């Protein structure tokens, strides 16, 4: 499945919008992340267009996320030769989990730990217990490989848009209230933002591994 080289993806900041890496890329190190993918339907993208247009009146540099997901882990570094054993351990721990519905409809503002990036997200308001159960198993795998576990008391969410820097002051308050009103009043938003979680995915470098839920 892998070529014999141990080099991960090249570290070119122009390819990720000038974002600052949380950890340096080194030969043989692969940035790894576990998440539930969020497949964006046309109506969801319509809602996002309205939200982003409004949010950009407060912070013009905001841009839409390229893909959508709900994180089950922090981004960690795996040595190349640990990727397949790590993925197999994940699959073993995920084997008994069933698919479930969740709703993400609460607008919330987030920053990364270093406050070098700000995100507008939709927080999970139902299905939280199932996410906690998944994270519990992911954390066990992380501990097996001596990696960082997930945040305490996590806020599960789908990030919609982001910008460089800490823009919390501009986005919270009036902007946040207006964005929530857009979500609440959007046609069929209750059904639109109720999603079936069908798989857990692991991205390591440029490789993707899917673990279907039962």
**Which residues are annotated as catalytic?**
69, 157
50 phi, psi to nearest 5 deg: -65, -45
Determine the distance from the C-alpha atom of residue 174 to the mean position of all C-alpha atoms in its chain, rounded to a whole number: 25
What distance in Å separates the CA atoms of residue 76 and residue 159, rounded to the nearest whole number?
Answer: 19
Which 3-state string (H, E, C) describes the chain?
CCCCCCCCCCCCHHHHCCCCCCCCCCCCEEEEEEEEECCCCHHHHHHHHHHHHHHHCCCCCCEECCCCEEECCCCEEEEHHHHHHHHHHHHHHHCCCCCEEEEEEEEEEEECCCCCEEEEEEEEEECHHHHHHHHHHHHHHHHHCCCCCCCCCCCCEEEEEEEECCCHHHHCCHHHHHHHHHHHHCCCHHHHCEEEECEEEEEECCEEEEEECC
């Amino acid at each position: 499945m892998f070529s014999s080289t141990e080099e991960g993806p090249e570290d070119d900041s122009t390819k990720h919008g000038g974002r600052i890496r949380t950890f340096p890329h080194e030969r043989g190190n692969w940035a790894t992340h576990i998440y539930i993918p969020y497949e964006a339907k046309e109506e969801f993208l319509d809602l996002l267009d309205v939200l982003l247009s409004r949010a950009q009146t407060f912070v013009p540099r905001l841009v839409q996320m390229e893909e959508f997901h709900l994180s089950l882990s922090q981004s960690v570094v795996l040595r190349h030769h640990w990727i397949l054993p790590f993925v197999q351990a994940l699959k073993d721990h995920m084997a008994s989990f069933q698919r479930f519905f969740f709703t993400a409809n609460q607008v919330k503002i987030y920053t990364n730990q270093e406050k070098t990036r700000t995100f507008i997200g939709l927080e999970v308001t139902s299905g939280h217990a199932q996410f906690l159960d998944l994270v519990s198993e992911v954390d066990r795998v992380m501990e097996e490989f001596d990696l960082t576990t997930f945040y305490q008391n996590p806020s599960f969410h789908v990030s919609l848009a982001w910008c460089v820097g800490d823009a919390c002051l501009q986005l919270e308050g009036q902007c946040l209230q207006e964005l929530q009103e857009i979500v609440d009043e959007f046609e069929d938003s209750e059904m639109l933002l109720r999603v079936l979680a069908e798989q857990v995915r692991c991205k390591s470098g440029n490789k993707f591994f899917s673990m279907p839920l039962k």
